[in-house]
Every structure is written in structure tokens, then in C-alpha cells.
Amino acid sequence: MIGGRRDMPLNRDSTGRFLPWLIAVMVYLASLATMGALTMTKIANEWQSSLTGQLTVQVPVSMPAVESRDAAEDEQVQILLALLKGTPGVESAILMPLDEINQLLEPWLGVVDASASLPLPRLISVTVSPDAPFDMAGLREELQSAVPGTTVDDHQQWLNGLLDLAGLIKLVALLVVVLVGLSAVIMVVFVTRMGLAVHRQIIELLHLIGAHDAYVARQFQWHALKLGLRGGLIGLLCAGATLFLADHFVSRLQASLLPDLALTPLDWLLLVAVPLIAALITLITARITVLQSLARLL
């Protein structure tokens, strides 16, 4: 048994019996919240890295008859492409083929030659060197004066919205972890105080024989650690099972929007750390509670 002496029969206390289950629930919640935050970070990073340096230039749609349209647009596209390629910092500027646009629209419109029947804008995909300083506003102005109506989308607005959402989710996850930790502390304080009250006579005797408060605290803290570890293990197993299931479903989705969400070894390490940290919190809380309560006794 950890801690050696058991001068107080703490493991017979009914108050301590439900503590592992509460800790288990808390560890479970904290683990999932942590993993949620980690996943959100991964998704946000993925989006950010795949979208920075990417611009989409949209050639305005001219509305006259379909035959003359292509010619006019081709000309505009050539002007814009030339301009873009001459801009310092631009690595490549490629006109998106109509096939590709059709493909993008397929989920919404079905397999049709959309470009033939719809006035779709032409899109130029631009890659900007990540190192070179780049004058976004200047480029936008230049393109618009060359071909009025041209728009440049650097995806920042969309990305910022997503990043904000990701940030919010992370914040909520952090809040969950903090609240769960706080409740764990309150629970342990409560259970420890109950223990002190139940074993008051024994503690008085220990004091009369010359025990320091730390001697008493040690027995409480090892007991609390044991309960914390037991609960943490249960919580960890449940969280592990949940994540395993989630992982399974995500990998079946094969959603292209989602980056690789598989848990890395580091993630698993973090997951294992959660119950250990919980047990440590239990130990420290029990110790501090005992020392403070006993100091108040005289």
C-alpha cells in the first residue's frame, strides 16, 4: 500500500467511496475537452497553412450574347494574367480550367456543362510567395483599373471567421477543463474535511503522541492519491474508448475538408497525463486541506 501506515481507517469511509467515480467523470470530461481543443487547433492550422498565399482573382462576367462573351473575356483574362505575372511576389497565376469549375459545382448542380448554360465567372488561381512582402491593396487597385469589376479574394474573411470559431471552441474547452478541475478540488476538500471530522478522535490521539500535522496529512494525501488514480484510470479508459470510436467514424467519413485527425503519440501522451494530473491535484488538495484544517484546531 502506498504511504505505509494507515492509522485512520480511511478506506472504510463511505465518503471516500464515491470520490473515484466523480474523478472518473471529471477526467473523462477534461480528456474529451482537451482532445476537442487539440483537434480544433489542428483543423485551424491546416486551413490556415493551405489557404495563406492563395488568392483567387475573379474575372467579371459580361452579360451580352454568349458568342461575343468568350472573346471579350479571354482578352480580359490575358490582361489580368499578364499583369499578375509581372507583379513581384506572385509565384504563379493560372486560369482555372472550366472543367475544374464544373467539378466544383457538381455537388450542387449535378453533372452538367454548367459553364455552357450559366454565366460563370472565370477564376484565376494565384499563388503568392510566402516570404516576399506583398501589397494586397495595391494589387487589387491595379487589377481593377485594368479590368473594372475584377475582384480579388484572399480568403482572409472566410478564414478569419473559421479561426474565430476555432478559437471560441478552444476557449470553451479550456473553460470546461478549468471548471472540471475546480469541481474536483472542491470535491476533494469536502471529502477530506469529512474524513477529518470522522477520524477526529484518532487524529487527537496522534497529536497527543506527538504527531506533526504533516504526519496526519501524509496519510490523507496518499489515500486521496489512490482514489484519484483509481478514478482517473476509469475516466481515461472511457475517454480512450470514446476517442477511438470518434477516430473510427472520422476516418470513414474521408471528408476532404477535414485534415488528418488521427491522434498522434503526443496526443495519447497528453491523454494519459490528464488522469495523472487529476490524481496529483487530489493529492495536493488533500494535503493542503488537512494542514489548514488542523492548524485551525490549535
The dihedral region occupied by 254, where left means phi > 0, alpha psi between -120 and 50, and beta the remainder, is left
Stretch in the footprint of another protein (CB under 8 A) among 4-12, 42-50, 142-150, 281-289:
4-12
Between 65 and 208, name the residue whose CB sits nearer to another protein. 208
**Site stretch for another protein (CB under 8 A), options 3-11, 91-99, 122-130, 240-248:** 3-11
C-alpha cell at 196: 477529518
Report CA-CA distances (Å) from 141 to 81, 83, 132: 15, 12, 19
Residue 17 amino acid letter: R
Residue 206 C-beta: closest distance to another protein, Å: 7
Cβ-based neighbour number of residue 235 at 10 Å = 26
Task: List the one residue from 1, 4, 63, 65 that touches another protein (CB under 8 A).
Answer: 4
Pair 216, 290: CB distance under 8 Å: yes
Q: In the window 64-103, what residues touch another protein (CB under 8 A)?
A: none
Pick 39 or 293: Cβ nearer another protein: 293
Cα–chain center distance at 142: 40
- Based on the shown chain and the rule CB under 8 A, indicate whether residue 155 belongs to the binding site for another protein: no
* Spatial distance between the Cα atoms of 149 and 208, rounded to a whole number of angstroms: 90
Residue 192 CB, nearest approach to another protein (Å): 19
Residue type, 273: A
CB of 211 to another protein, least distance (A): 5
x/- track of binding to another protein for residues 215-244 (CB under 8 A): x-----------------------------
Per-residue contact track with another protein, 196 to 215, x per CB under 8 A? -----xx--xxxxxxxxx-x
DSSP 3-state of 115: helix
Q: Which of 71, 208 has the CB closer to another protein?
A: 208
Q: Using DSSP, state whether 210 is helix, strand or coil.
A: coil
Please report whether residue 3 would count as binding another protein according to CB under 8 A: no
Minimum gap (Å) between residue 286 Cβ and another protein? 19
Determine if 110 is a binding residue for another protein (CB under 8 A): no
Residue 123 β-bridge partners = 58
Instruction: Give CA angle at 129 (167, 144), nearest 5°.
Output: 90
Task: Retrieve residue 245's grid coordinates.
Answer: 470510436
Beta bridge partners of 153: 56
Query: Are 117 and 89 in contact, with CB atoms under 8 Å apart?
Result: no
Of 1, 65, 111, 295, the one binding another protein by CB under 8 A = 295
Nearer to another protein, 51 or 211 (CB): 211
Instruction: Please give the single-letter amino acid code of residue 260.
Output: D
Distance between CA 129 and CA 81 in Å, rounded? 17
Of 219 and 289, CB closest to another protein: 219
Total site size for another protein, rule CB under 8 A: 19
Task: Looking at residues 7 to 26 of the shown chain, list those that interact with another protein (rule: CB under 8 A).
Answer: 7, 9, 12
The set of cell numbers assigned to 251 is 476516418
Helix (H, G, I), strand (E, B) or coil at 35: helix
Task: Please give the residue ranges that form the binding site for another protein (CB under 8 A).
Answer: 4-5, 7, 9, 12, 201-202, 205-213, 215, 295, 298
